[in-house]
């Protein structure tokens, strides 16, 4: 019997046992902590409430979200990856060559069978909605198959079990340190710690350079992700919170702890932002995904067209991935800082 067939049969059996069970620890908000940093294996890492045991550095990794994929590629691990999935934007330009070497299992969530066909020895993801209940697989299923998994601490630190990847409330603001921790953990798992520390240092330098270039106190921002009817606008405490704080500005929805609440246009008008941060999404799922459709709506909707930010065309364009907690958050910081530098609103 082939490995694929054995794995498929095993996961079906596991699914029957686990279908009514949800691993509460898989979405824990416990801080991620590397328990060993000596380079010796097996390595145990406490990750979002799950003890991940890695017997040897993975050679056949599957990453289920773009954020996780871009970290692995940045660590020079394309040759140890056998699949990626769930893309929201084109890969970063500097990673395109390596990314082309890795099979794309699906643009969106792949089936568990497709993942198993790649015969992975490690699975990583950015969101609990991808690696967890209702996603590609639950972590306990993969564990029963002998496949260790890793969930980004950005989706469990400062969140309750119920709000992981549900756009729910954060109990504390996301910190950029959670992104660095993910890099450090994955570098340890793949036994490329020096690469991890070098990459973290590069990101820290970019973050500090961008954030020190502008002081935008008195500037208010609103982050529009998608939808024109009841738009998704960023609350206080996710990736947009890091961006806003880094430039000294204020999010008009800083009083909202939900990560992506749906609001009314009347509410946006009442709060009268200085500028709109607009996500240019490569997907075409909801009205207002594309940048052009966002701008057209703002300039023709009677509620928004008279806002000074719209009259002055104060639009800051970012990718959708820049507003997800990941290394792309720093891209968002750079883009917002650069735009504000050119306006009188920033000192």
Q: Say which residue, 208 or 285, is predicted with more confidence.
A: 208
Q: 332 and 288, same structural domain? A: yes
Contact 193, 154 (CB under 8 A): no
CATH code, domain carrying 234: 3.40.50.1980
Residues 168 and 270 in one domain: no
Per-residue pLDDT at 33 exceeds 50: no
* Same domain assignment for residues 146 and 269: no
Decide if 45 is inside a domain: yes
Q: Same domain for 166 and 225? A: no
pLDDT at 168: 65
Among 328, 327, 25, residue whose Cα is nearest residue 187: 327
What is the average per-residue pLDDT within 208-224?
95
Mean pLDDT computed over every residue of the chain: 88
Residue 75 lies in a domain: yes
Contact 63, 124 (CB under 8 A): yes
Instruction: Give every CB contact of residue 248 below 8 A, 6+ residues apart in sequence.
Output: 214, 215, 216, 217, 219
Residues 62 and 84 in one domain: yes
The residue among 264 and 40 whose pLDDT is bigger is: 264
Length of the chain, in residues: 347
Strand segments, DSSP code E, in 135-246 are: 149-151, 220-226, 232-233
**What local confidence, expressed as pLDDT, does residue 342 receive?**
85
Residue 304 has pLDDT above 50, yes or no: yes
Name the pLDDT band for 343 (thresholds 50, 70, 90): confident
- Confidence tier at 313 by pLDDT (50, 70, 90): very high
Please give the residue range of the domain that contains residue 304. Answer: 215-341
**How many structural domains compose the chain?**
2
Domain annotation covers residue 140: yes
Mean pLDDT on 230-255 = 96
Looking at the structure, tell me whether residues 220 and 201 fall in a common domain.
Answer: no
244 with 304, same domain? yes
Same domain, 92 and 135: yes
Task: For residues 183 and 225, state if they share a domain.
Answer: no
Q: Is the pLDDT of residue 1 over 80?
A: no
Provide the strand spans (E) within the chain: 33-34, 43-47, 50-54, 61-63, 81-85, 104-106, 122-125, 149-151, 220-226, 232-233, 250-251, 275-280, 315-319
pLDDT surpassing 70 at residue 24: no
Same domain, 192 and 290: no
Look up residue 112 and give its two tokens. Answer: 């568990």
Residues 161 and 247 in one domain: no
Same domain, 303 and 259: yes
Q: 340 burial class (0-12, 13-18, 19+ CB within 10 angstroms)?
A: buried
Residue 13 above 70 pLDDT?
no
Could you read off the pLDDT of 90-147 as tens digits, one per residue? 999 999 999 999 999 999 999 999 999 999 999 999 999 999 999 999 999 999 999 9
């Amino acid at each position: 019997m082939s490995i694929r067939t054995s794995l498929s049969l095993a996961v079906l059996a596991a699914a029957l046992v686990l279908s009514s069970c949800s691993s509460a620890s898989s979405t824990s908000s416990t801080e991620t902590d590397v328990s060993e940093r000596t380079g010796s294996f097996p390595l145990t890492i406490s990750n979002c409430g799950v003890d991940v045991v890695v017997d040897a550095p993975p050679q056949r990794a599957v990453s289920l979200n773009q954020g996780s994929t871009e970290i692995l590629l940045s660590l020079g691990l394309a040759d140890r990856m056998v699949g990626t999935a769930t893309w929201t934007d084109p890969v970063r330009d500097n990673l395109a060559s390596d990314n082309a070497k890795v099979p794309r299992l699906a643009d969106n969530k792949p089936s568990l069978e497709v993942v198993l066909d790649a015969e992975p020895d490690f699975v990583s993801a950015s969101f609990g909605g991808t690696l967890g209940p209702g996603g590609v697989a639950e972590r306990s299923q993969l564990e029963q198959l002998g496949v260790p998994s890793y969930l980004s601490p950005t989706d469990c630190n400062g969140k309750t079990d119920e709000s992981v990847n549900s756009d729910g409330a954060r109990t504390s603001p996301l910190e950029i340190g959670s992104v660095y921790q993910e890099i450090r953990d994955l570098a340890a798992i793949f036994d490329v710690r020096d690469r991890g520390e070098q990459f973290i240092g590069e990101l820290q330098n970019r973050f500090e350079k961008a954030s020190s270039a502008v002081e935008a106190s008195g500037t208010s921002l609103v982050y529009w992700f998608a939808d024109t009817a009841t738009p998704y606008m960023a609350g206080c405490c996710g990736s947009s919170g890091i961006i806003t704080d880094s430039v000294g500005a204020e999010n008009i929805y800083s009083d909202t702890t939900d990560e992506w609440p749906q609001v009314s246009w009347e509410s946006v008008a009442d709060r009268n932002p200085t500028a709109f941060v607009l996500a240019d999404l490569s997907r075409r799922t909801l009205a207002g995904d594309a940048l052009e459709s966002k701008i057209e709506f703002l300039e023709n909707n009677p509620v928004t067209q008279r806002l000074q930010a719209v009259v002055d065309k104060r639009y800051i364009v970012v990718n959708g991935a820049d507003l997800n907690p990941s290394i792309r958050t720093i891209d968002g910081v750079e883009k917002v800082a650069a735009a504000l530098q050119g306006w009188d609103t920033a000192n």
